[in-house]
């Protein structure tokens, strides 16, 4: 069975979408979003330095998609009210500064 040419062209775009699960990001906006919504909860959990959440031994995240899902979950838990684009920006910022997951 042959795919129509339009279906084939549409499928060519899928690898590009899979490379960056967080989509278009604004890293400049991500840190203030993170600091406002995440830092106080992480500080309570780790006693003073909330960044230990990301650098501790035994952290449970192993790829970009899991990081994005965790950010979305935390957004819902603390009622931060972020849009998906903001979740993606925070996930990308965390990846850049702490996780360093490859595409």
Tokens of 88: 């993606």
Q: Tell me whether residue 6 is in a domain.
A: no
Q: Tell me whether residue 88 is in a domain.
A: yes
Which pTM was predicted?
0.78
Q: Tell me whether residue 40 is in a domain.
A: yes
Q: Tell me whether residue 11 is in a domain.
A: no
* Per-residue pLDDT tens over the stretch 3-39: 566 554 555 544 444 447 888 899 999 999 999 999 8
Q: How many domains does the chain have?
A: 1
Task: Give the structural domain span for 49.
Answer: 21-99
| pLDDT of res. 46 | 82
Q: Tell me whether residue 14 is in a domain.
A: no
Q: Tell me whether residue 83 is in a domain.
A: yes
Q: Tell me whether residue 15 is in a domain.
A: no
Q: Tell me whether residue 8 is in a domain.
A: no
Q: Indicate the SS3 state at residue 76.
A: helix
């Amino acid at each position: 069975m042959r795919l129509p040419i339009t279906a084939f062209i549409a499928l060519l775009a899928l690898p590009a979408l899979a490379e960056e699960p967080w989509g278009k990001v604004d890293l400049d906006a991500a840190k203030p979003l993170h600091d406002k919504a995440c830092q106080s909860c992480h500080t309570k959990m780790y006693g003073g330095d909330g960044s230990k959440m990301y650098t501790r031994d035994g952290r449970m995240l192993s790829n970009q998609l899991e990081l994005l899902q965790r950010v979305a979950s935390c957004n819902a838990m603390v009622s931060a009210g972020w849009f998906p684009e903001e979740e993606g920006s925070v996930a990308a910022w965390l990846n850049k500064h702490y996780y360093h997951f490859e595409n």
